Amino acid sequence: DAGITQSPRHKVTETGTPVTLRCHQTENHRYMYWYRQDPGHGLRLIHYSYGVKDTDKGEVSDGYSVSRSKTEDFLLTLESATSSQTSVYFCAISEGSPVTQYFGPGTRLLVL
């Protein structure tokens, strides 16, 4: 357990509404990641952060934005949710080299 929490854990929303998912860590890790997990695709990287206000895109970043104003919080925002963004979202931190990644408990998002 690397002290990672995600909120909310479950959310149902309607197409077109904005949604923000929060990842919170308590151990001052520099690197944080947002993934989505879908059947047949495995884990895919949405965005990652390598420090406060330092973020970069992953392989499936379209429709998502992130912010990191404090070391401990990494926010993922869906500006206008679509049904294709129905998924399970995992936050992760990494430490060491080579890295070991530790995952949060996940957020199940359903976009109707």
Partner 1 sequence: KNEVEQSPQNLTAQEGEFITINCSYSVGISALHWLQQHPGGGIVSLFMLSSGKKKHGRLIATINIQEKHSSLHITASHPRDSAVYICAVSPSVVTQGGSEKLVFGKGTKLTVNP
Measured from the CB of residue 55, what is the shortest distance to partner 1 in angstroms? Answer: 9
DSSP symbols for 26-48: SS--SEEEEEEEETTTEEEEEEE
CB of 17 to partner 1, least distance (A): 25
Of residues 8, 83, 105, 112, which one binds partner 1 by CB under 8 A?
105
Stretch binding partner 1 (CB under 8 A), from 14-22, 61-69, 72-80, 92-100: 92-100
In angstroms, what CA-CA distances link 45 with 14, 17, 36, 49, 58? Answer: 24, 22, 7, 11, 5
Told to check if 77 binds partner 1 by CB under 8 A, we report: no
Q: How far is residue 84's CA from residue 94's CA, in Å, rounded to a whole number?
A: 28
Residue 107 touching partner 1 (CB under 8 A): no
Alpha-carbon span 1 to 70, nearest angstrom: 21
Could you tell me which stretch among 13-21, 61-69, 78-86, 100-108 binds partner 1 (CB under 8 A)? 100-108
1-40: which residues touch partner 1 (CB under 8 A)? Answer: 31, 33, 40
